């Protein structure tokens, strides 16, 4: 099974900062990674699919990149509404699919 190592576990940012979260897969996942945002008490919401494609409604300050085993997710110009937890999910080839452990973004 593919393991996803997500870092950092938590992140403290000021409004307007750029933040980056990384996910490293235990093997090549061929860009089949999605990123989800979860606010307290809410269901996850998809932001990015297939490494870098923004889902409809995702603000352009969110971005994703990567290939092979290494992927990143960034928020430029952090806004107060971005305070949430973020998860990567790999869905390459055969299941089981796996989430990263999550990153909690807080305001400094």
What tokens does 33 get? 């990674």
Q: Whole-angstrom Cα distance, residue 18 to residue 62? A: 10
Span from 18-26, 57-65, 67-75, 95-103 in contact with another protein (CB under 8 A): 95-103
Task: Using CA atoms of 53, 54, 56, 58 in order, give the dihedral in degrees to the nearest 10.
Answer: 180
Confirm or reject binding of residue 13 to another protein (CB under 8 A): no
CB distance 19 to 74 below 8 Å: yes
* 36-55 binders of another protein (CB under 8 A): 36, 38, 42-46, 49-50, 53, 55
Interface residues with another protein (CB under 8 A) are: 1, 32, 34, 36, 38, 42-46, 49-50, 53, 55, 87, 89, 91, 95-102
């Amino acid at each position: 099974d593919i393991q996803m190592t997500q870092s950092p576990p938590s992140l403290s940012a000021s409004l307007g900062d750029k933040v980056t979260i990384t996910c490293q897969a235990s093997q090549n996942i061929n860009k089949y990674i999605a990123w989800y945002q979860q606010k307290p008490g809410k269901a996850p919401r998809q932001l990015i699919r297939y490494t870098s494609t923004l889902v409809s409604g995702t603000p352009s300050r969110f971005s994703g990149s990567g290939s092979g085993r290494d992927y990143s997710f960034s928020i430029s110009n952090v806004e107060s509404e971005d305070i949430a937890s973020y998860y990567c999910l790999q869905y390459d080839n055969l299941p089981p699919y796996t989430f990263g452990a999550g990153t909690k973004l807080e305001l400094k």
